[in-house]
Amino acid sequence: MNYKNLGRTGLKVSAVGLGCGNFGGIGSAPAFFGKGETEEEAFAVMDVAWDLGINFFDTADAYGGGRSETYIGNWLKSKGSRVRDQLILSSKVFNPVGDGPNDQGLSRRHVMRQIDASLKRLGADYLDMYLMHETDPTTPLDETLRAMDDLIHMGKVRYIGASQMPAWLMTKALWISDKYNLHRFEWVQNSYSLLDRADEKEMFPLCADQDIGFTPFSPLAGGLLTGKYQLSTDYPAGSRMTLRPEPYFKFWNQGTFDGLERVKAKANEYGMSMGGLALAWVMSSPHVTAPIVGPRKPDHFQPVREALTLNLSAEERQAIADLLG
């Protein structure tokens, strides 16, 4: 396993992060709380990730209605202080955790309440990394930044970042932090894959200019880049698409699936799986710190193992990207 600095910070994270959004649910959607991986299944996934050298676990307060953080906390308790001392814990705040009007968002009140709730579930004294899960148009950005800056001064958080953040708003956040001498966002966590390259236009130049880390989620586009889905057939039993296909409907067309066949053929040339090549493509970007992967079973780590063995040149990256138009 390779380890990379998170942006300009001295924090070193594994070249791949473990996404824990399926522990006890499917992301933050209340309709799926209690579904997803059981605690026993989550333990097995975390064991494999740790054995692979992955030191960066990514979760959120609302994943599985809090179950994701609880499972991680219980796993850490079973492993002891040696593992906790080496593990980089990352969580997020924004999504609803209750029915009240103040049980969501990025207000000072909600941020301060949720950090304590997350730490309790995780059985931790502090979080290494803490992100705003989404943008909140109902709360001034400087209110959120001041609250998160206070968390660092209180010793409850080490570094702060932002997820699902457009480049223009990240620029504004950096300006506010600079103007008022606040701790700034040190990394961004947006979607990025062979099928979703929007951040290349504005976010990547900003990350390069400001030395911001980038930890993309959905590097395999919900499994589309593993080749397990077909355009005109039913979703495989137990797959992500059987539970929450809506975010991927935009890819469900003949042009996309023709491109996926070309990527699959290229993967065969490299002697690896389609998922392994797609993940290696993301990891080979000079702007990417560590993609977040979400294997649901131990054997789903095979693309990760493959990707860690392949270093693509800039020319190879471009040739692979061109396969999808």
- One DSSP character per residue, 273-315 reads -HHHHHHHHHHTSTT-S--EE--SSGGGGHHHHHHTT----HH
Alpha carbon of residue 305 to chain centroid? 18
Question: Which amino acids are annotated catalytic?
Answer: 63
Tokens of 49: 């990730």
| Helices marked H in 203-249 | 203-210
Please check whether residue 289 is in contact with residue 6, taking contact to mean a CB–CB distance below 8 angstroms.
Answer: yes
Beta-carbon contacts of 322 under 8 Å, excluding residues fewer than 6 positions away, are none
Please check whether residue 318 is in contact with residue 67, taking contact to mean a CB–CB distance below 8 angstroms.
Answer: no
Q: Phi and psi for 132 in degrees, rounded to 5?
A: -75, 125
| Residue with the two structure tokens 């209605």 | 65
Q: Phi and psi for 210 in degrees, rounded to 5?
A: -105, 5
Counting other chains too, the contacts that 94-97 makes at CB distance below 8 Å and 24 or more residues apart are 94/62, 94/132, 94/133, 94/134, 94/136, 95/28, 95/60, 95/61, 95/62, 95/133, 95/134, 96/28, 96/30, 96/62, 97/61, 97/62, 97/65, 97/66
